[in-house]
Structure 1
Amino acid sequence: MSIKYTVIERGEPGVTGGGTKKWYAQVKTDGEMTVDDLVKEIEKFSALSEADIRGVIIALENVIQKELANSKIIRLDKLGSFYPSLSSGSAESADKFNVSLIKGAKVNYRPGKRITDALNTATFTKDK
């Protein structure tokens, strides 16, 4: 297995007209994995039933949503970590900062070592 890529031309950011254009690699995705697909793959490595696996995935999703909304870092061992972060405007002092300056929240993901290692040792194939 290898990561497929294509080559695309991009201009220089912030330069009118694009400036000097260069060519860069871009991942060429090859479909997607749905929860149904994941369940079928997990069944191959587990004695759990399809319903049990599906139930665990849905429960995990619910717990992650709840705990991220409570400012928790979710550490899933070798899978990695999910953690909340904020985007906000600034104030001249801490006293002048108020919640209206918070623009939104998002979820960050930091992959675990096994996932990082898998990508570090991946091979690459140019898509035709």
Structure 2
Amino acid sequence: MNKEYAFPYVFILFSIALCTIIFSTYFIAFFLAGVVFKIFAVSLRKGYNYILMLSIVIFLIIENTQGLKPFMLTGIAMLIYFLIIPRIKHLFSSEGILSILYMLFFYLLFYFTVQMQSSFSIELVVVFLINFIIDILIVGFIL
């Protein structure tokens, strides 16, 4: 693994874990799961195995703080990476649009799985929309 790519991903993942833990104590749903999904996909594609394991641990931290089932986000990320991404990769040539679409599919599947566990709430839709917009900004400007 190239050392110049290891530090930003590890730093971003640790800061996401810290933000998730801190914001969960204040009852603010601040996931940043899309950023972790983007790092998960990059580490799968490039073979960064320890960053892949770290991103799975961060998914577990997000699931634990939000009260979700373990490995749900990892399963969604694997489903998107192996089934959805190969199907839509040839439709668009822009990498920016593709990363937004990947994150959109990730958040849609994440929303539907959370929705199966609870009743419908407009607040939940707003929380997911806000998290999606924040993740698009972070992935667009930082990653």
> Which TM-score band (shorter chain)?
under 0.3
Larger Rg: 1
- Of Structure 1 and Structure 2, the greater strand share is in 1
Q: TM-score, normalised by structure 2?
A: 0.26
- Of Structure 1 and Structure 2, the greater helix share is in 2
Q: TM-score, normalised by structure 1?
A: 0.28
